[in-house]
Structure 1
């Protein structure tokens, strides 16, 4: 997962990827879940530029508080 820090309380999730051998293990989803947990704990908002992160955001409406609107 790559991200850019744009401000002390804002990050942009740029890309999420795992090796092909790990794609069936939900590793990418786990990375996004951790990012959401960490952002909440640190008071940071996420801009979901990465298509996978954005899809996970839509899939989990309970995470809305972790994302910038």
Structure 2
């Protein structure tokens, strides 16, 4: 299974594809030095296959690379960060 996460700035969301097929997205709102994640959806056909985690990791890695912080308003992104201590430094305090 090959996944690709990309920042769809026109729709303010990170999209994920699995083997080229759309599989989900994480919506965000940009702010001053932060990215506020508001909602995440994974296509039911891909649930339970680690696609949500791949989406979270890809989006958060991009935020880190851009030198920004995260405001995890979305319960999925918030929960994923809580389970992965190496991403907790991204959370704006």
Q: Normalising to structure 1: TM-score of the pair?
A: 0.90
Residue 6 of structure 1 aligns with which residue? Answer: 31
- Asked which structure has the greater RCO (Cα within 8 Å, sep 6+), the reply is 1
Aligned length: 68
Residue 53 of structure 1 aligns with which residue? Answer: 77
Higher helix fraction: Structure 1 or Structure 2? 1
Structure 2 stretches of 5 or more lacking a match? 1-25
Residue 22 of structure 1 aligns with which residue? Answer: 46
Question: How far off its partner does 1:3 sit?
Answer: 0.3
Higher strand fraction: Structure 1 or Structure 2? 2
Partner Cα separation in structure 2 for residue 40 and residue 48 of structure 1: 14
Partner Cα separation in structure 2 for residue 19 and residue 36 of structure 1: 20
C-alpha RMSD of the superposition: 0.9
Structure 1 stretches of 5 or more lacking a match? none
Question: How far off its partner does 1:49 sit?
Answer: 0.3
